[in-house]
Every structure is written in C-alpha cells, then in structure tokens.
C-alpha cells in the first residue's frame, strides 16, 4: 500500500477531478465487497477469486501503461487514470482487510495484549499510508509549473506500471497464457518471477526515491521569494508559503524513512528466527533417561536431545503444565509441521516454528493438531523416566 500511496497522492495533486475521487471511493467499496464474498464462502470462492485477482493484476498493468502514455502526451486521461485507481483498490483492499482476521492467533484469548498490539500495528500502518498520500499531495502541489508536475507524475506511473507489469507476467504464467520459457527483450518470464519474489520492496523503494528527489527539488526551489512585492505583508505571506512547502517536504522525507524502517527493520525483527533452546543435560543408565522434576518445574519449556545408535538426533520437550502438577512431554516435532520444532515466547507461550500456532500448555502430551508428538514415559520418585527405545521408535522423523 505504501508504494501505491505515493502515486495516489501525486495523482490527487495533479488531477483535481471529482471523478477521480469518486472512483477511489468506489474502488474501496468494491474491495470490501470482494473481501466479503471471500469470507462468505472461503472454500467455494477461493479458486475463482484467485483467478479473478490474476486478471485484475493484468488489467492494472495495462491501465498503468495507458495512464503513463496519456501523461507523456501532455494530457492526463480523465477516464483511464480513475479506472486504474478503481481496479488497483479493488485488488489491494481485500488482502489489507484480511489482516484484521489475524489479530487473534489460534489458542489466544479474544481480548489480549498481543491482539491489541496487532490491531494497533495495523492501524498505524494505515495511518502511515495516509501520511504518505498527504505528503506526496502537498509536495507535488508545491511544484511551480505544470511541466514539473507532469514529469514527476509520469515517473511515478512508470514505476507503478513496471511493478504490475512484472506481477502481470507471473499472473499470466499461472493462468497458462504464458510459459515460463517465454521471453521479452531477452528476459524470460521465469527470470521476472524469480526477481520479483527476491525483491518484494524494490518498487516501494523506487517510489520513495522519486519522492525524495521531488521533495529535494521543492526544498531547493522554495528557499527565497522571487519577484517584487508591493508591500511587506505580501512578502511575509510568500515567505510563509515557501516555509510551509519546505516543511511538507521534510515531513514527506520523515514518513518515507519510516516506511523504509518498517519494511526493513521491523519486518526483520518480526520474522527473524527465534533463538534456539539449547538441549539440557540429563542422566542415562541402562537405556533409561532420568530427568529430575525440580529442574523442569519452573513452567518454562525445556528441550533435551538423544542421539540414537543410527545417529539420529531425537529432540524432546518437557514443560510443567499451568494447571495442577502434571507435566507435558513430547517430541520436538508434530504430525503436521514435521520437525520444525517449538520455541518459547514470553513466559507462557509455546509456539510452533513453522505455522506460528500457539500451543496450549495443558494439551502438550496429547495427540492431535500441532501438538508435540507424545510418547510413553513414567514419573515416580521426583523424576521423569524415559526408555530410549520409545525415542528410537521415532528416530526416522528426525532425518
């Protein structure tokens, strides 16, 4: 949305047409309707909407190219550009709304700190996009001539067209219209798909670089009043206008830096692999592993490792359950996500590394779902006893 926000602000500045704003509102409404259709029948509509979205991408690419051409020939088309905005919002709004369904993770309470933080992050993301629209609008409106405005609008449309042209090639391949071996200008569809997946933020950065050039140009050309002013009041008014232009330019720079910070730093922090829990020592005698309960009774996740005679590293977990004095014991693996394993988040959450599902500690040791695979063990005399043969039964899971 951030890359689209820069373009939208520039278009709003250049085209004050009422039709443009009407089509933007209609695009948002259409996107909400598409999201509603998916939520009404997620299974029945999934394949149909997937195909629909791919054709939407192709349509956006075509309209973006036509919009850029209309600007290049010195007149923005009052129908093509609003149509492009309408289709773009119909495509972008549903996945944004989808995030509202992910505020509460599986196993969490409906009202919790984490759910509220996710909702707050979602809201701040929308606010950031609105600030980018406002900043791009004000800075672009500060340009002194129509030719300057047209140059920056054309450049933004070209970036947008390139973004969706790359996505359209992938969409047409999945629609079986193109083959991965098909090439254009010596570049195959497969190469474009690989590059697009490897550089998801490339076009956002391109739009932000364009915004940086635009704001730098405004700052450089709005430093001192030009011309002759009949009185000091008009001179002060002009100085105030130039100061406001510079301030809007600096603010757009701040919001652009914030967007980069979000998609690089915060995204890395949010998706970085959690720290691996190091296996703890235990006693083994006569093929029986023994673990003292007082070493695992703190309510945190404890990981252990046993290397089988066939050199398989079988990992298993022990955690004291919140309710009562029972313990959850199972493999560091599940039937759904394989040997991805688990990690501890905070003081009371056990999370699957692959699907990010939150485990209920009271169900660890039971079969089903994404729970750790259970195995036979015995508790007596203040210790947990595990026969290594029970672990060796599951060694092939850990290939």
pLDDT at 232: 86
Q: Which residues of 242-252 are buried (b: 16+ CB within 10 A; e: fewer)?
A: beebbebbebb
- Ranking 40-44, 290-294, 381-385 by mean pLDDT, the lowest is 40-44
More confident residue, 224 or 186: 224
What residue spans in the chain does CATH classification 2.102.10 cover? 283-398
| Average pLDDT of the residues in 100-110 | 76
Mean of pLDDT values over 80-84: 93
Angle between helices 18-40 and 42-72 (to 10 degrees): 160
C-alpha–C-alpha distance, residues 260 and 253, integer Å: 11
Confidence of residue 76 (pLDDT cuts 50, 70, 90): low
pTM of the complete model: 0.73
- The arithmetic mean of pLDDT across residues 123-127, rounded, is 94
Q: What percent of the chain has pLDDT over 70?
A: 97
Beta-strand (E) ranges in the chain?
Answer: 183-184, 187-188, 283-285, 288-292, 302-307, 313-320, 327-331, 342-345, 349-352, 358-359, 378-380, 383-387
Q: How confident is the model at residue 347 (pLDDT cuts 50, 70, 90)?
A: low
Q: Which CATH number fits domain 283-398: 3.30.70, 3.40.50, 2.102.10, 1.25.40?
A: 2.102.10
Which residues are paired to 187 by β-bridges? 184
Measured CA to CA, the distance from residue 69 to residue 67 in angstroms comes to 5
Residue 273 has pLDDT above 70, yes or no: no
Higher-pLDDT residue of 40, 246: 246
Closest CA to 193 of 310, 43, 57: 57
Which range, of 128-137, 168-177, 194-203, 355-364, averages the lowest pLDDT? 355-364
Rg, the chain, Cα only: 29
Question: Quick check: 399 pLDDT over 90?
Answer: no
Range 269-279 average pLDDT: 76
3-state secondary structure of 33: helix
């Amino acid at each position: 949305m951030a890359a689209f926000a820069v373009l939208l602000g520039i278009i709003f500045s250049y085209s004050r047409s009422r039709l443009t704003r009407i089509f933007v509102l209609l695009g948002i409404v259409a996107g909400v309707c598409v999201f509603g259709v998916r939520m009404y029948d997620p299974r029945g509509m999934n394949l149909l909407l997937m195909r629909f979205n791919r054709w939407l991408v192709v349509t956006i690419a075509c309209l973006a190219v036509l919009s850029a051409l209309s600007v290049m020939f010195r007149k923005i088309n009052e129908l093509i550009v609003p149509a492009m905005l309408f289709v773009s919002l119909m495509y972008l709004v549903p996945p944004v709304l989808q995030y509202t369904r992910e505020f509460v993770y599986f196993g969490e309470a409906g009202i919790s700190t984490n759910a509220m933080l996710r909702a707050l992050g979602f809201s701040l993301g929308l606010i950031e996009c609105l600030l980018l629209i406002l900043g791009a609008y004000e800075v672009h409106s500060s340009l002194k001539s129509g030719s300057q405005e047209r140059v920056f609008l054309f450049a933004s449309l070209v970036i947008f067209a390139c973004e969706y042209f790359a996505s359209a090639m992938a969409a047409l391949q999945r629609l079986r219209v193109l083959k991965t071996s098909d090439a254009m200008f010596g570049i195959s569809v497969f190469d474009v798909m690989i590059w697009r997946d490897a550089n998801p933020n490339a076009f956002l950065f391109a739009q932000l670089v364009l915004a940086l050039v635009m704001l730098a140009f405004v700052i450089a050309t709005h430093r001192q009043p030009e011309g002759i002013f009949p009185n000091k009041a008009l001179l002060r008014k002009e100085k105030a206008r130039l100061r406001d232009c510079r301030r809007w330019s600096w603010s757009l720079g701040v919001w652009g830096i914030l967007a980069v910070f979000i998609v690089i730093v915060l995204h890395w922090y949010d998706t970085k692999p959690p720290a691996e829990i190091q296996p703890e020592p235990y006693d083994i005698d006569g093929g029986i592993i023994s673990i003292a309960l007082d070493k695992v009774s703190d309510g945190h996740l404890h990981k252990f490792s046993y290397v089988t005679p066939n050199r398989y590293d079988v990992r298993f977990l022990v955690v004291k359950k919140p309710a009562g004095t029972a313990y959850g014991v199972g493999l560091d693996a599940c039937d759904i996500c394989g040997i991805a394993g688990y990690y501890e988040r905070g003081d009371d959450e056990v999370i699957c590394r692959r699907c990010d599902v939150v485990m209920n500690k009271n169900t660890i040791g039971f079969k089903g779902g994404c729970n750790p695979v259970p195995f036979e063990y015995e508790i007596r005399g203040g210790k947990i006893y595990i026969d290594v043969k029970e672990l060796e039964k599951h060694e092939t899971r850990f290939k």
